[in-house]
A and B are shown apart, each in its own frame.
Chain A
Amino acid sequence: MLVARGICKRFGRTVALDRVDFHAAPGEIHALIGENGAGKSTLVSILAGRLAPDAGTITGADGPLRITPGTAHGVAAVFQAPLLFEQMSWEENLALGGFRRSTRLRPEALAAAARAAHDLGFALPVPGRRVADLAVGERVRLAILRALSFAPRVLLLDEPTGALAPAEVEQFLDHLGRLRRDGRAVVLVTHRLGEALTVADRITVLRRGRKVAEVPAAATNERDLATLMVGELPPPLAASTYEGAPAVLLSLADLMLEKDGRRLLDGVTMEVRRGEIVGVAGVEGNGQDALIAILAGLAAPTAGRLLTRGALALIPQDRDLDGLILEMPLWENLLLLEPLRRRFAPRYWLRRRDAVEFCRALLARYAIRAGGPHDPAAALSGGNRQRLAVARALATQPEIVVAHDIARGLDLAATRELHRQLRQYAESGRAVLLLSSDLEEIFQLCSRSYLMSRGRLRPLGPADRQAGRFGLMLSGAQG
């Protein structure tokens, strides 16, 4: 039981939360939805006790809570960027959870973890592997397991399903239903309206830091919720209008990558041409990271050929790797990218005023919610950071853009906006390669697409577009 009243929070000049009331009741799943920057993650951080509100009170089952309620008050959370110990093994990360209280680190905790994972339908990673070497999906699963290990009375989940495979999502949502029957309170932050409608009892909508609605899930529908969230939906995307010559900008021929005796990429072949958005669908951990590493020049292929024509810009999946320095102002963050640095610091001196103006224009053009170019990157919400990373990458005018799961954790409107930007960029005669585990995204945006499974690519035809068939393919594809 957790009741928050009149919660206010500001970051610099950005108002993240404005007098928000929220409650998590036992035996209820309460979905929290809203656009990016609406304040969902901030609210979760405050409820979890990671962040102190500027105003407002939080009351737990045992009365008013001071700051940092945490697990001691029966509150456990899975944050959007899971708080994991990168240099430790995943087992040690779990042992820091609530599985077993003993002084020695022994396998009982692991057995308990394995049982919990089985209940959730999760596969556990290879024993002894460091978290730093795990894929994003594996990390999220780990964080969920760890949070559940505390047997929390209140479970806070910030976008937990984004990195899970469809089959896993289903089983996970089932499990949430079981927690509800046990009388626990679950708060689920999600951008998938359908998910909120199926699983939640109650839905609260935030818009720009304010609570705009709290409704029983049975009394609303997807269209109403979307309207509440954004006001109105942007129009769907039209077909590509690029009519120039379809020259090949990126070509992969029989790419192989082997590491520690494991074949991460197995004969990957594809071409990306001017004006195209090519999609690579697939569950995380099937070679996407290896492909990205090769494209980024961080790994050399064991065999095969990679040809690029023109500059390649990468928008990575992990926001920590976005290359934003949180303490630096936004305009300085732009200059972290070499081409922009050359433009605004051609010799010894920084063209500060130009860079600030450029940043201001970029913020406006990409609708990034920030106080201004002088705000530190830390003042931006997760989604807005993502947008800034995209804006910055496109501002260097690369011929090829490689985007990896850029819509993860973004709401409908922000995703559409991002898609529109990418589409426009491709239509201007550049090429985009999009890796995503979101099939809708792939099908909506891409002119051609592939399925990535166990390091192999397989082209997708129109017949594959049936959701059911595809879901099965994906589940089967998961190794």
Chain B
Amino acid sequence: MLESFLASTIAMATPILLAALGELVVEQSGVINIGIEGAMLSGAFAALVAVYFSGGMICGLVVAAAAALAVNALLAVLVINIAVNQVVAGTALNLLVAGITGVAYREVFGVTGRALTVRALAPLPLGPLTRIPLLGPALFDQSPLAYLALLLTAIVGYAIARTRAGLRLRACGEHPEAAAALGINVYRMRWTALLFAGVLSGLGGAYLTLVYTNTFVEGITGGRGFVALALVIIGRWRAWGIAAAALLFGAAMALQFTLQATVTNLPYQLFLALPYLLTLLVLALMSGQAAAPSALGRSYLRE
């Protein structure tokens, strides 16, 4: 019971953690990517299509990353080069991707009324580590993407705080004009950040179709992109803080499943809402913008 709860927590936390790490990098460069929900959705859809037609998992992940990369590249053109309002552009992109994936799904697979399933991305047990009681099966018998998320938490956290590239990234989010005056190419930095985030949200999306459900339904992301946005705030713009917040959200999701199965005299919608209520609550409690990059959401155009 506890074992499966832990395993489920990590499984639930993985896709949003991947997306949130990408969002962290983007926000450190001064861009707020509301379109993250759309990027995840495109990744989820592309992964399913690729695996369905090719059967290869690697192919599915690469195509998912590429699809979300394309979505973010479109966003980059809009918000970085043309300086469209970032919230407006991101929201528009979300609607666009939701529409396209819905239509494309029906176009490609027809309306059969029957859920379309693909092979799942198999977990990758880490040998003897899985034999640790309780923790072993929960932590070390996960999808490769879960390990990747953890690894990236460490790498992104270190890179942002301790490397020159991270410093230059933060400089763009803190004061783009000053960064430019010091010879930093703000455009390139923000583009790079958005493309990196594209890959991560694509993988996060792929996780939803290839690990969770093995199928695709319209709007499968179910607001997880927005949860990722919230995680960045809850985690105070720090990689490990975000990982902790993702685990909290994952735990709420896992708990929700358990409660749905065990408590039958309450409407199940109540439990469905639990993780989102929790996010809202923590977000409200962790108010204050102190840790946010100063130029977050502000367009930068060279004079």
Contact = CB atoms under 8 A, between A and B. Distances in A.
A67 B180 CA distance: 12
Interface in A77-119: 77, 79, 83-88, 92, 95-97, 101-105
A102 B303 contact: no
B181 interface: yes
Interface stretch (B137-145, B166-174, B244-252, B276-284): B166-174
A51 B303 contact: yes
A147 to B, nearest CB: 9
Interface stretch (B12-20, B98-106, B157-165, B219-227): B157-165
Nearest to B302: A68
B130 interface: no
A88 B162 contact: no
B180 A52 contact: no
A149 to B, nearest CB: 10
B303 A96 contact: no
Contacts of B303: 50-52, 67
Contact of A83 (B170, B178, B294): B178
Contacts of A280: none
A70 B181 contact: yes
B183 A70 contact: yes
Interface in B164-207: 164-165, 167-168, 170-171, 174-175, 177-184
Interface residues of B, number: 22
A103 B163 contact: yes
Contacts of A104: 162-164
B170 to A, nearest CB: 7
Contact of A85 (B164, B178, B183): B178
A87 B294 contact: yes
A71 interface: yes
B210 to A, nearest CB: 34
Contact of B181 (A50, A87, A92, A95): A50
B164 A95 contact: yes
Chain A: number of interface residues, binned into ranges: 20 to 34
A291 B249 CA distance: 47
A238 interface: no
Interface in A26-79: 48-52, 67-68, 70-72, 77, 79
A71 B183 contact: yes
Contacts of A92: 167, 170
Contacts of A52: 302-303
A191 to B, nearest CB: 23
A48 B181 contact: yes
A255 B175 CA distance: 37
Interface string A299-324: 00000000000000000000000000
B296 to A, nearest CB: 11
A88 B174 contact: yes
Nearest to A85: B174
Contacts of A83: 175, 177-178, 181-182
Contacts of A84: 175, 178
Given A70-B180, A72-B183, A85 B163 contact: no
B162 A50 contact: no
A217 to B, nearest CB: 29
Contacts of B167: 92, 95-96, 105
11 contacts: A50-B180, A50-B181, A67-B302, A72-B183, A83-B175, A83-B181, A87-B293, A88-B171, A96-B167, A96-B182, A105-B163
In order of increasing CB-CB distance, the 6 nearest A-B pairs are A83-B178, A71-B183, A85-B174, A70-B183, A51-B303, A83-B181
Given A85-B171, A95-B164, 18 more contacts: A50-B180, A50-B303, A51-B303, A67-B302, A71-B182, A71-B183, A72-B183, A79-B181, A86-B175, A87-B293, A87-B294, A92-B170, A95-B167, A96-B179, A104-B164, A105-B162, A105-B163, A105-B164
